[in-house]
Structure 1
Amino acid sequence: MYEYAGEASDYISTTATWVVNDVDTATVTLKGSDPLGPFAYNCDKTVVPIFITSGSMRFTGQVDTCSPDFSEGELKWTIQVKGDWDWYNRILVWPNFAAPIWLQEPKEAIYIGPAISCLKAMVGEQCIRLQTGLWEMANNITDPAAWFGSMLEKEGLLTPCAVVPTDPLFDTSKWVAFSAKMDTAATLIQQVCKDNGLVSTADVWMPGDAQPTDWFTLTQPTVVFDVKDRSGITGPTGTMVDGLVEDAVDLEHSMLGDILTPFLNAEGEYAPEGVNIAPALGVNFVKPWVFFDCDNPLRSGVKEFHAPAHAPLAWQIVGGGKSPDWVNNIINATVEFLLGSALTVVGLEGIPNTLLDGVLDDVLLAYQLIENEQRRSEMGPYGKPEYFCSTGSTAYTLNEEFALEGAMWETRGYKSAELIFDNGFPYVLGVDLFLGALATWKFMNALYTDYVMQITLTDDRDNRVQVTAQIGDNSSRQDPAEIMQRKLAGLQTDLQIAMLSQN
């Protein structure tokens, strides 16, 4: 029930790791004499919540495993904690949250609009379903013991969770279109957030904390879901129109490359790799506040840093494997005609002219490739040439073209950084540095900007509140063309569902 049990003030070590749009984790090691060890050992029967706080940064989660470990004559408690983001993994998106489980019509839930509003609406609907116990008796037809389960619970919310609301009219996030059919909320959130520079959070509000919003007032411990825009991109109006303008800029880049850049960004303003801006249209990049000078690490407060450069995998991408249907149909028709003519000439009857149908399928126009000439030139003649994009798609189609462009992006060379510093020197976790926000580091007089993908806080006998920040990695961003393809495919799927089409 999230009632105060005690404070582990004499812990041996604590490590908490926040991950962008995924389950946060923590490890707490207690002395064998700590009374909270046996308390956590009850995690196989009941929920055991743990909060880890450092300044304004707080990790909230529940004990996943608790192990008494005895070695060298000493007993310790090792507690593994899952952060509350794991709630997204345990919430299913019903096609119709207001209907009983055996009557799910429409077949899929459809969401079209600004990304943050869509995600919050999706989670909010399921929270309503879980909190109200809708159709509990109807959903448990074969289990009479569960008919009155909600009535037997204590007063308050059945599943204490809430979504911080966003006014759709002033939601400036990019527009999306997706559908759900008993998917986990986590699966949908991860892809939408990754494509649009968003960060989803799930934290427990406790009495005494500031209210998360003015739209409602919380009175009991509640899991609060939120989605924030960390893309660093601003639009021209501050309304939902901005998302459409930003999508239009991404679409222009995906379809036309950089042809219009001299007009849309005449001054050549800076934006990180993979981020499209158009100052002429009011789409700008906001430079991040956090800056690490790795050329002068000691003066900048960086205790340790690792900034690996990753080599590109290839300069040519090959994909496909399936010929367009019209090609296969022409080949089969031609073979049928030639075989039929040959059988007529030799006087053989009773042998079907379709005998060789399919033998020559996926031979002509079955594969295609794209080449990155700039990358090839930079790599030189000894650069490894080819990478196969295994999609199984039909060659020379829009989907395959986007898949190849996405593979070209994934095989690029890139740089990332891991920086270690004491919390507060130079930046304070949760005040200056945020999970999923942009950060810049400088090395060898070159600037690099990327998203903070992971933050680890360590406090033990050797390290006093030490922060390890992972900036950028191979999956931090994807090719804008591939992201746009997913958006167009999602819109097409939603329109088909809305029009009751099964094709």
Structure 2
Amino acid sequence: MTAPTATALIQALRGGNPLTAIQTAKAAATPQLIPSPKATLAVYDQYYTCIDPDCSGRYIDLHLMDPRKDLPAGSLTLDGDDDLAEVAIQCDTIVVPVIYTKGNSPWHPTDPGYRWSGRIDVAHDQSKQGIQTVACELVGDKTWLDRILTWPNPFLPIFIQEPGEWFGIGPGLTVIATLIREQAFRLQFRLWELVNNITSLHPDFIAWLTETLYGDGAKPMDLMQMLVTPICVISPDVLNDTSAWIEINGRMDSIWKLVNQQVQDNGFDIDATMWVPGDPQPEGLWFPLTVATCVITLRDRSGFTGPWGPFEGLVVDLTQLEGSLLGNALAPLLNPNNEASYLTPDLGEYIAPTIGVDFIPPSVYFNLDVVESGMIDFSVDHHAPLAYQAVIGGQSPKWINDLINATLEWLIDAITIALGVTGVPNSLLDGIFDNVLFAFSVAENYDAKLKGGPYMFAEKFFPSGEGALSIDSLFSQASALWNIRGYPSAKISFIDNQPFAVGREIWRGTLVFYIRRGTLYIDYVELLDIKDSRTERNRVTLQIGDGKSEEGAPTKILRKISGLETYVNIILSGGNLT
């Protein structure tokens, strides 16, 4: 059936014949439908030579998880007599890569698809009730970041590590990219590798020379290709990097350990996906790729924009600081029209349009109030407040303890002199009255208490290093009030491309709206969960919000201030904080 004209469509919809209306509406909508892209799962050998370009019709089931805050993982189940089972069980000696691709390559210039790439981590060759299978546990290629350490100085041999800490400060994406690039350069250029082995009493010159000249075991390595195999970092434009400013320092920590909290605090996303020959070249490369390479791309998905180019991240942070300490008391000046009012209750973030700190809202809406919205199922989980009051502290400020001890020492000296007694140490009572004055502070959420009623749970304790009368306690109070609040999260399932497609409208870590019972919510896509089996194809489940209370802006800002203090200490100590 050809698509009807607009006049014919209106007449059919108003004509009173339901069957004709349905058929005409379907004919009008069909040309506008985007066909569901084909999904494939390819299996490779340890050199990324393809063994099977598409085994989607062979496996029993496939389950892939692509989280924002954790490393990607998954599972794959094969029949025990499948040829691929013989390949899978070799994972204890060789790398067995797998690549799930939906639609085009993720680097397609006009219609990019979605790709999950990784490898088999554990293969269970098993039999249950006479049915033999090989159940594989998968890990994603972002796990590379957990298996590369942060050497304090990646350009020196291991027995000379000066300065004693790797450290960096600046726009977040640039700092993280620099960290990954330097450590990957160290590994891939094999800088000082022979010297490191000799000084570690592990010399093997023949093996080192063979691996250097024949990196893939088959042909001589090209020097420039060596620098990006197996990892290539797409460098952000330093002069136009408008991401939030961060500080990172570490000493033989994994890269993932150092960057994970920064990703969570600032709305960043790190993508580590395998490029294989035949894919379009990623944008931003210094020279083209020729062999399979894990391409790392960093993105800012926070939605915040500021007024001063590379320094706009600092302005955004100052806005969060104001909102954290003053409770957004300056909102009538900074945000007089109360724009994006959902940000503070849902994400704990603040904007200031008056000075140019704005928020770009997401374009994806899940309207859960509409039955025909295409969702298979959903669950919006409302978590009750823990209490209306938070108690913070545990220790008195040091100056108060010192003042009490000094006073007691003076009293002991005065009494012993008056009595003519000798031999009594004036420090006899030191510490007896420590942590009794201003050791605790209390923060009460009056609005929550008023709304919750008289039977709301009363209080929760949050230990901290400082009690009252300190700047830290102000941050701790604001953070504690955020942590005891009530909050929503959601889990939504749909068949991919009905109505949204992963890699086209939905990405890991992106912000989305969802509507339920007339209320608008906003949160990050914390997890992409894809299930594909012989009975259900490409079912996508999104975890929106991570099912637990997000950290508020006070905690994030305090971490930034602590990071700045650490950076200053590293500089003043000549790079040897330890």
Normalised by the length of structure 2, the TM-score is: 0.84
Aligned to 1:254: 324
Do structure 1's residue 283 and structure 2's residue 357 form an aligned pair? Answer: yes
Residue 42 in structure 1 maps to residue 90 in structure 2? yes
**8 A Cα contact 2:194 2:208, kept in partner:** no
Distance in 2, Cα, partners of 1:485 & 1:348: 51
What whole-Å deviation, never above 9, does each CA across 1:210-264 have from its counterpart, x for those lacking one?
A: 2222332111101111211111122235x21221221221122123221211122
Q: 1:94 to 1:83 in 2, by over 3 A?
A: same
1:13 matched residue in structure 2: 61
Structure 1 partner of 2:366: 292
- Letter aligned with residue 185 of structure 1: I
Q: State the structure with more CA Rg.
A: 2
Shift of 1:203: 1.1
Paired residue for 1:230?
301
Output the aligned Cα RMSD.
1.8
Q: How is 1:97-176 mapped onto 2 (pairs within 5 angstroms)?
A: 97-140=154-197, 141-153=199-211, 154=214, 155-156=220-221, 157=226, 159-176=229-246
Q: Which runs of 5+ in 1 are unaligned?
A: none
| Range with greater deviation from structure 2 (28-37 or 253-262) | 253-262
The equivalences for 1:356-395 within 5 A come to 356-395=429-468
Distance 2:398 2:334 in 1: 39
Aligned length: 501
Corresponding residue for residue 79 of structure 2: 31
Give the conservation status (yes or no) of the 8 Å contact 2:397–2:466. Answer: no
Greater shift after overlay, 352-361 or 37-46?
352-361
After the TM superposition, which parts of structure 1 deviate over 6 Å for at least 4 consecutive aligned residues?
A: none
d(CA) in 1 for partners of 2:205, 2:350:
54
Residue matched to 2:572: 499
Deviation at 1:21? 3.6
Please name the residue that 1:220 is paired with. Answer: 291
Q: 2:379 — aligned with what? A: 306
Cα distance, 1:255–1:401 mapped onto 2, change above 3 Å = closer
How far apart, CA to CA, are the structure 2 residues paired with 1:50 and 1:79? 11
Read off the aligned partner of 1:202 and give its amino acid letter: A
Asked if 1:485 corresponds to 2:552, the answer is no
Q: Identify if the C-alpha distance between structure 1 residues 476 and 20 changes in structure 2 by more than 3 Å, giving closer, same or farther.
A: farther
Deviates more, 1:1-10 or 1:82-91: 1-10
Aligned-pair identity in percent equals 37
Any idea what SS the aligned residue of 1:300 has? Answer: coil
Deviations 1:258-309 (A, max 9, x none): 1211122122111423221112222222221211111113x11011001010
Letter in 2 for 1:472: G
For residues 146-200 of structure 1, the C-alpha deviation after alignment (integer angstroms, 9 at most, x for no partner) is: 4454421123338511101111110110111231211111011111111111111
**Alpha carbons of 1:268 and 1:34: their partners in 2 closer, same or farther (altered >3 Å)?**
same
Could you tell me which amino acid in structure 2 is paired with residue 236 of structure 1? P
Query: Which stretch of the first structure deviates more once superposed, 319-328 or 60-69?
Result: 319-328
Give unmatched runs, 5+ long, in structure 2: 1-46, 104-112, 215-219
Which sits farther off after the overlay, 271-280 or 97-106? 271-280
Question: Shift in Å at residue 113 of structure 1?
Answer: 0.7
Please state if 1:455 is matched with 2:528.
yes
Distance of 1:219 and 1:21 partners within structure 2? 31
Partner of 2:436, secondary structure, is coil
Distance, in Å, in 1 between the alignment partners of 2:202 and 2:130 is 52
Quote the offset at 1:476 in angstroms: 7.2
Give the secondary-structure state (helix, strand or coil) at the position aligned to 1:162: strand
Question: Matches of 2:457 and 2:242 in 1, distance apart?
Answer: 42
Contact 2:307 2:356 in 1 (8 A): yes
Deviates more, 1:430-439 or 1:316-325: 316-325
Report deviation, 1:85. Answer: 1.0
Q: State the AA in 2 paired with 1:290.
A: V
Give me the TM-score of the superposition, normalised by structure 1: 0.96
